Amino acid sequence: MLAPDDAFERSVFLNCPFDVAYEACFEALVFSVLACGFHPRCALEAVDSGAARLERISRIIRGCRYGIHDLSRVEVGASSRLPRFNMPFELGLDIGARTFGSGLLRRKALLVLDAEPYRYQATLSDIAGQDIRHHGGSPEHIITGVRDWLRIHSDCPVPGPVTLRQAFTEFSAGLPAVCAAGGLDRHDLQFADYVALAREWVAR
């Protein structure tokens, strides 16, 4: 069990889409954080009927030194004709924790991702100056971007990007068989199950 300060230093809050279209990118994001020696956390880990969603997310943000925020989903919804604001809102919470918090919260580091370069200038221009990287919807680009960012901001030794991309490809290829052996549904994996399987594979 890590001490509270150590847990904070190794934890990464993931704020990103959870839809099917983003699934490969999400798995690449989680895998790269784990393979670099950090602990991924997100809203999917929190199943607590007694706490409001905002309370759960705020608690996770307080427990993470690092935050990765993917603002890819800015399109207008087909049925609602409105954009979704959850991800920009959670980015604002994380920036607020760093700006107005005290102690460890002042050490927070944030990475902002988007599918297209400079799109944020039209949708969220207030974040100009943040470390914003685009990935074009490519899991490989996400792995490289996250790895390079963690290497710079954590000053910890991490695997090279080529090694990480190859490892993710191998893990993903073998995952259906691993799920079948463990009685899990590859197409309906819980966040905790994916993290446990990826962590075990990385450890081996």
Three-class SS of the chain: CCCHHHHHHHEEEEECCCCHHHHHHHHHHHHHHHHCCCEEECHHHCCCCCCCHHHHHHHHHHCCCEEEEECCCCCCCCCCCCCCCHHHHHHHHHHHHHHHCCHHHHHCEEEEEECCCCCHHHHCHHHCCCCEEECCCCHHHHHHHHHHHHHHHHCCCCCCHHHHHHHHHHHHHHHHHHHHHCCCCHHHCCHHHHHHHHHHHHHC
| Residue 49, pLDDT above cutoff 80 | no
* Interval 104-148: pLDDT, tens: 999 999 999 998 877 766 667 767 666 678 899 999 999 999 999
- Residue owning tokens 């695997």: 159
Q: What is the pLDDT of residue 3?
A: 60
- Structural domain spans, the chain: 4-203
> Per residue in 169-182, pLDDT tens?
999 999 999 999 99
Average pLDDT rounded to a whole number, residues 24-45? 96
Handedness of CA 188, 85, 52, 146 (dihedral sign): positive
Q: What's phi and psi for 11, nearest 5 deg?
A: -100, 140
Q: Which CATH superfamily is domain 4-203 in?
A: Response regulator (3.40.50.2300)
What is the rounded average pLDDT for all residues in the chain? 89
Rounded to an integer, the average pLDDT of 184-195 is 95
